[in-house]
Structure 1
Amino acid sequence: MRQPKSPRTDVELAREGIVLAGGGAAIALQVAHRPVAAGVQQHSNFTADPLGRLRRTLQYLAAIVLPEARSARATVTGWVARAHEPVEGIADGVAYSAADPDTQRWVTATLYWTAEEIRWRIWGEQHPDDADQIYRSYAALGTALGMPQEYWPADRAAFQRYWDEQLASLDVTDAARQIVSDLFAAHSAPWWLRTAMPTARFLTAGLLPAEVRVQLGLDWDGADAVREDRLWRILASAYPQFPAGIRHIPARLVVAELIAGSRGTKHSFDALG
């Protein structure tokens, strides 16, 4: 059977439900950044409501990326701006602010990196022009948060240098480890979500760079690596064969809820995206 082509644009990639598998890794990478962990610790309760956190993040991504959600874009960016206004201060010996462009760049970088990791595991290498197009488009997620356009690395090579430098300088705090531990414990989540958390934790640990995984205290060994490789091989063989209508169900549900919710006047977004 012929392998379906890899998503060629950010819109195509954003519609793929499999990208949700990178959500835990994106959150873990974000809080591995000390200012983000401090802001989340002081202003966010997403570990008590992981489904709400995921839903709001997906709505933000959909509003910025998907043309069918464009009518809700101004509303969503307004929600985010209001949620981020009070997010600044000093905690755990570090200053933090949701308005800091370096923080906005890091949050955006984690979203791009995890999406690309999932895309690569499912579809493998892609044409450089398509990879460049997807990369450039991710800047919009940061600029919608307030990041100046020039803060986004100019190309994928520049991004890789930035990413390597950031990984080398991360200082994972006890607060970050507690946030990640609470996230996967999901004490306040429905029973069915708690049942899924061991799998989510496994996927997250496998996706994370080794140095971040170790600092966050996520156990991993050779047997885990073999199991992860086998899992992704199965997913890479099966997932692209599903009809687009099935693969895109999560995106359609998010957009429908987003459009309905944007007609209201109230919404709650967690700090720092």
Structure 2
Amino acid sequence: MARAPHLLNRRSAPIASDRSPFAAVAGEGALLLGGGRALLLQLADPRVAAGVARHSAFATDPLKRLTGTLTYLYVLAFGTEAEIARVARSVGGAHRGVQGADPVAYDARDVDLQLWVAATLYESTVAMHELFVRPLSEAEADLTYAESARIGTALGMPAAAWPADRDAFAGEWERMLGGLEVSDEARSVAGALMRPTAVPRVAHLIMPVIRLLTAGMLPPELRAGYGIRWTPRHQLRYERAIRRIRAVYRVLPHRFRTLPARLTLRRFRATL
């Protein structure tokens, strides 16, 4: 079976590699490196960009959507049914008022938009795993794909909206990519995300690398749509960064690689 296209009960026990394939993939800290890419892919749909620009606090807290998305994914992977229901209600409640009609009609509860957002999260998660951890076997990839439907269905997306298998997803992914158009609102929101001001100092230190990785992982057409300058020198720097990060990441202890997931879950559970 062809792979999808890539660029390449409350638990107190530590996150371990013997969990479900979806949990094993989502629990890797490398997922963080694809967060910007997933968000810029989402924003390239003008309906998503309009909703985010008009109903979120990107100007004052540009990382809120990213941290919220990570919490959602980690709870889906490692939470209890009650925890999943709670985080889904929270996200669904935040989406309830996200709708409008001028100049583009949008509704965060629209099935097509739910599918697009879920698809970007699934595709980016697997892409980061294959880029920085290791390629998935065919069996792992099939199981991860099937389980990833919950990214959308937990929010009310009909299960039938998720393509039947990875081959069907590949075709749907290409179709959705072909319908994207980076709007002025998308460029504005992306600018706030990629050059945040109200963040810890350490974030400013790593943002040049994050911007490089994010730009390099985007399809060339979207990179151009966001007005990102990309030269052969940028490509060389990007490829060098990928090699270095991969070399370091693969020798890190598993417990360290899953630290972001454990800390995020701990913060979430502290609010219960």
Q: With structure 1 as the length reference, what TM-score do the two structures score?
A: 0.88
* Kept after mapping to 2: 8 A contact 1:122/1:236: yes
**Counterpart for residue 49 of structure 1:** 61
Q: 1:29 aligned to 38, 41, 55, which one? A: 41
Deviations 1:108-142 (A, max 9, x none): 01101111221121244331111111111111010
Looking at structure 1, the residues matched to 81 and 240 of structure 2 have their Cα atoms a distance apart, in angstroms, of 38
**Counterpart for residue 269 of structure 1:** none
Q: 2:125 aligned to 112, 115, 119, which one? A: 115
SS for the counterpart of 1:50 is coil
> More relative contact order in 1 or in 2 (CA 8 Å, sep 6+)?
1
* Kept after mapping to 2: 8 A contact 1:43/1:87: yes
Q: 1:88 to 1:9 in 2, by over 3 A?
A: same
Looking at structure 2, the residues matched to 124 and 243 of structure 1 have their Cα atoms a distance apart, in angstroms, of 15
Q: 1:83 aligned to 67, 91, 94, which one? A: 94
Q: 1:240 to 1:8 in 2, by over 3 A?
A: farther
Deviation of the 1:199 alpha carbon? 1.6
In terms of fraction of residues, the more helix-rich structure is 1
Looking at structure 1, the residues matched to 99 and 169 of structure 2 have their Cα atoms a distance apart, in angstroms, of 27
Looking at structure 1, the residues matched to 256 and 58 of structure 2 have their Cα atoms a distance apart, in angstroms, of 28
Give the aligned residue type for 2:23: V
**Counterpart for residue 142 of structure 1:** 152
Give the aligned residue type for 2:111: P
List 4+ stretches of structure 1 deviating above 3 A.
none
Is 1:220 aligned to 2:230, yes or no? Answer: yes
| Long gaps (5+) in structure 2 | 1-16
Looking at structure 2, the residues matched to 152 and 78 of structure 1 have their Cα atoms a distance apart, in angstroms, of 20
* Kept after mapping to 1: 8 A contact 2:98/2:108: yes
Looking at structure 2, the residues matched to 222 and 70 of structure 1 have their Cα atoms a distance apart, in angstroms, of 48
Looking at structure 1, the residues matched to 210 and 31 of structure 2 have their Cα atoms a distance apart, in angstroms, of 13
Deviation of the 1:50 alpha carbon? 3.0
Q: With structure 2 as the length reference, what TM-score do the two structures score?
A: 0.88
| Long gaps (5+) in structure 1 | 264-273
Q: 1:170 aligned to 172, 180, 189, which one? A: 180
**Counterpart for residue 215 of structure 2:** 205
Looking at structure 1, the residues matched to 206 and 39 of structure 2 have their Cα atoms a distance apart, in angstroms, of 17
Root-mean-square deviation (CA, aligned residues, Å) is: 1.9
Deviation of the 1:188 alpha carbon? 2.4
Q: How many residues align?
A: 256
Give the aligned residue type for 2:207: M
**Counterpart for residue 265 of structure 2:** 255
* Kept after mapping to 1: 8 A contact 2:27/2:77: no
Sequence identity, in percent?
39
Looking at structure 2, the residues matched to 107 and 71 of structure 1 have their Cα atoms a distance apart, in angstroms, of 23
Looking at structure 2, the residues matched to 104 and 64 of structure 1 have their Cα atoms a distance apart, in angstroms, of 16
Give the aligned residue type for 2:153: T
* Kept after mapping to 2: 8 A contact 1:8/1:131: no
Deviation of the 1:8 alpha carbon? 7.2
Deviation of the 1:212 alpha carbon? 0.9
Looking at structure 1, the residues matched to 113 and 202 of structure 2 have their Cα atoms a distance apart, in angstroms, of 33
Is 1:9 aligned to 2:15, yes or no? Answer: no
Give the aligned residue type for 1:58: L
SS for the counterpart of 2:135 is coil
* Kept after mapping to 1: 8 A contact 2:42/2:120: yes
* Kept after mapping to 1: 8 A contact 2:85/2:154: no
* Kept after mapping to 2: 8 A contact 1:38/1:90: no
